[in-house]
């Protein structure tokens, strides 16, 4: 009876509020979410004595996303107000390119400035107190590139010369670009460092000729390890089997000289992972790239790579074997690029379940002993916690049988790794009885779609019938990554809870004639199949999966238990202004403060929210100029604590885009 009443109320809300989800269904089509050495990249002192800086994309080189600030608390968070807004002007005069952009950046706080990149790779420094522009670097990016992953830049990185930091380029901002350049700028002035490459930049030329210039790009902040700047790449996933290699490159941060390269496809027979590929890898120049953010352990001299699946995503018959190093966390010796250990989250990945998030380098207290771990959140909704020195699971992982019966030529892994203790953060089983719909007819449509496809749970192989991937290829978790509270052993992560329908088709198929006009088509040239991919949706434009469609969860990394989980996101931008909390697909990440607050944007409802880190209770929300598909950061300056978020929207929401950096703070007590 209660369910029927709730359904009736939702229908009334839809009718009264003009639930125009069909017009806003592009939001649900966010497919790109589509990622012994002494390190000097840790937090450095700034001029203001009481400043609490944020000197790396994830707050620190290990991506903890934790700010040691205490002034904004659960008791006063309701008093937060906008301190300043800076509009970058990045979308001005960009034409159609502006509509293909996403503002995903998290600023860093270095050299008395907030520094960040725009969607088009310009680098800007702002006053941390007023948001006024201090300097700007024009990256001269060609707006006609049409990059496969759109125009975005998630962050910049900072390097400090320990021997002479006060001279020109003694501190540097490093950034990668959509057109595959690595750029070094003087952190104080924004001027190019002339000794780095050619006039401050190094151009990366892939080993394989590109089909078009936008096939290969850099979207995430570089890793800084000692005097090295390390970059990966984002590559068009399903265009072709013989895609550009996903090589990770380390350059000398002073000169731009290439120091080492690491290809996640282990082509040398001497590599211990080579035998996990039952193929002559000289004949397979495909990729398993690192498109998301890497992490660095300064004390151990290690860099941790989140690798992708191998090309193409949905058919692996041409790359038999477990394909080690793909869809894995790979720990390298930062000075040399030598593999120290690797842990594979998906064997022989044919689901696009690559590792999307920055590996979290956390110190967990277990029975009074501090254990340094790598915590990896996954698109599958799973959480892996590994020993940082060995890669051996700290929280047990077991191999479980998974569905079989792939397409001819496919050799699936009979088992996949699952955490033994921590359950999935979002569901991964979908049956006809689970189908959601606001009306009887809506639900019946979803039931028919589920019944007509293969849906045998996580890791059901793609085929010509159509396979339900649940969670969808955007996660679960994505590049927004997780945040960690070291005082509570608590990791906080946001995840999405919707499904994809993936179908293998003829490589020559006409995309306009397959399944529906909403289906994405990719030829996977060189494979016997192409693919279509579409979100599993009802006629009203709602997901067929039961809500909440977005969740925020707290996971105890000592016990492995999920201590709280809450629905996350409102449908107000798609429901005539009605603020119904059904949860939303989300893209962006959380940040935690020492006072026990979790701040997060990530949803398309234009809110920045604050939650209680211990309970998951929402404490505060504020309107933003546009949706914030980015991760917030925090710092303290001149005695005042700030929370900062990029609010510029995402190209796939179908909603207005923007260019705002917004800072919140408590009312100033200064005279």
3-state SS assignment for residue 664: strand
Sign of CA dihedral 627, 633, 636, 638: negative
Cβ contact 360:491 at 8 Å:
yes
CA dihedral 549, 552, 553, 557 (to 10 degrees): 120
Residue 282 appears among annotated catalytic residues = no
Q: Is residue 40 a contact partner of residue 668, using CB atoms and an 8 Å limit?
A: no
Beta strands in 314-447 (DSSP E): 328-333, 339-344, 360-366, 369-377, 383-387, 397-401, 415-419
Distance of CA 307 to the CA centre of its chain: 12
Q: 3-state SS of 414-478?
A: CEEEEECCCCCCCCCCCCHHHCCCCCHHHHHHHHHHHHCCECCCCCCCCECCCEEECCECCECCC
Between CA 484 and CA 352 the distance in angstroms is 26
- Please check whether residue 418 is in contact with residue 398, taking contact to mean a CB–CB distance below 8 angstroms: yes
Picking from 257, 284, 275, the residue whose alpha carbon sits closest to that of residue 321 is 275
Q: Is the peptide bond before 548 cis (omega within 30 degrees of 0)?
A: yes
Of 571, 606, 613, 565, nearest to 590 by C-alpha is 613
Catalytic annotation, pick one of 60, 112, 237, 352: 352
Start-to-end C-alpha separation, the chain: 60
Buried b (16+ CB within 10 A) or exposed e, 621-659: ebebbbbbbbbbbbbbbeebbbbbbbbbbbbbbbbebbb
In angstroms, how far is CA 234 from the centroid of its own chain?
12
**What is d(CA 437, CA 541) in angstroms, rounded to the nearest whole number?**
10
Cα–Cα distance for residue pair 322/278, rounded to 1 Å: 9
What tokens were used for 141?
Answer: 């990016």
Which residues have a catalytic role annotated? 352
């Amino acid at each position: 009876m209660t369910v029927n009443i709730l359904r009736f109320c939702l229908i009334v809300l839809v009718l009264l509020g003009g639930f125009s989800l069909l017009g806003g269904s592009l939001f649900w089509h966010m497919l790109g979410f589509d990622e012994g050495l002494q390190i000097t990249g840790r937090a450095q002192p700034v001029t203001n004595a009481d400043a609490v800086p944020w000197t790396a994309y994830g707050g620190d080189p290990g991506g903890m996303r934790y700010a040691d600030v205490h002034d904004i608390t659960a008791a006063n968070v309701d008093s937060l107000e906008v301190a300043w807004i800076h509009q970058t002007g990045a979308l001005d005069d960009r034409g159609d390119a502006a509509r293909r952009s996403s503002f995903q950046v998290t600023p860093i706080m270095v050299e008395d400035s907030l520094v960040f990149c725009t969607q088009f790779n310009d680098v800007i420094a702002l006053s941390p107190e007023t948001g006024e522009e201090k300097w700007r670097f024009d990256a001269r990016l060609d707006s006609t590139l049409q990059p496969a992953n759109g125009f975005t830049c998630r962050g910049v990185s900072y390097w400090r010369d320990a021997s002479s930091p006060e001279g020109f380029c003694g501190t540097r901002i490093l950034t990668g670009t959509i057109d595959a350049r690595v750029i070094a700028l003087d952190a104080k002035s924004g001027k190019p460092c002339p000794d780095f490459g050619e006039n401050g930049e190094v151009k990366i030329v892939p080993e394989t000729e590109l089909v078009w210039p936008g096939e290969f790009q850099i979207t995430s902040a570089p890793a800084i390890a000692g005097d090295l700047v390390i970059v990966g790449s984002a590559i068009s996933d399903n265009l072709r089997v013989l895609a550009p290699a996903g090589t990770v490159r380390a350059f000398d941060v002073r000169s731009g000289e290439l120091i080492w390269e690491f290809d996640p496809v282990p082509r040398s027979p001497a590599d211990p992972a080579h035998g996990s590929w039952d193929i002559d890898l000289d004949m397979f120049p495909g990729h398993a790239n690192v498109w998301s953010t890497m992490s660095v352990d300064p004390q151990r001299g290690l860099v941790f790579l989140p690798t992708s699946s191998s090309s193409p995503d949905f058919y692996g018959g041409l790359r038999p074997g477990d394909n080690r190093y793909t869809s894995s966390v790979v720990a390298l010796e930062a000075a040399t690029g030598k593999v120290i250990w690797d842990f594979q989250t998906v064997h022989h990945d044919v689901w696009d379940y690559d590792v999307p998030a920055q590996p979290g380098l956390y110190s967990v207290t277990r029975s009074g002993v501090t254990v340094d771990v790598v915590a990896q959140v996954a698109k599958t909704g799973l959480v892996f916690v590994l020993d940082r020195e060995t890669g051996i699971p700290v929280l047990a992982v077991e191999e479980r049988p998974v569905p079989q019966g792939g397409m001819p030529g496919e050799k699936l892994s009979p088992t996949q790794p699952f955490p033994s203790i921590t359950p999935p953060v979002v569901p991964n089983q979908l049956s006809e009885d689970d189908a959601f719909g606001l009306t009887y007819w809506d639900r019946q449509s979803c039931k028919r779609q589920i019944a007509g496809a293969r849906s045998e749970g996580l890791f059901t192989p793609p085929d010509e019938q159509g396979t339900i991937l649940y969670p969808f290829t955007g996660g679960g978790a994505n590049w927004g990554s997780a945040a960690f509270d070291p005082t509570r052993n608590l990791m906080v992560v946001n995840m999405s809870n919707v499904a994809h329908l993936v179908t293998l088709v003829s490589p020559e198929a006409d995309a306009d004639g397959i399944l529906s006009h909403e289906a994405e088509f990719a030829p996977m040239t060189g494979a016997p199949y192409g693919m279509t991919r579409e979100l599993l949706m009802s006629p009203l434009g709602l997901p067929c999966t039961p809500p909440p469609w977005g969740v925020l969860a707290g996971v105890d990394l000592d016990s492995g238990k999920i201590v709280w989980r809450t629905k996350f996101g409102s449908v107000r931008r798609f429901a005539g202004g009605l603020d119904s909390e059904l949860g939303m697909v989300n893209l962006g990440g959380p940040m935690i403060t020492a006072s026990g607050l979790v701040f997060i944007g990530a949803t398309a409802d234009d809110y920045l929210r604050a939650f209680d880190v211990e309970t998951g209770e929402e404490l505060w929300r504020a309107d933003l100029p546009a949706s914030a598909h980015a991760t917030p950061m925090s710092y303290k300056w001149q005695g005042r604590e700030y929370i900062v978020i990029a609010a510029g929207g995402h190209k796939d929401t179908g909603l207005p885009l923007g260019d705002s950096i917004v800072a919140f703070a408590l009312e100033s007590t200064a005279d």
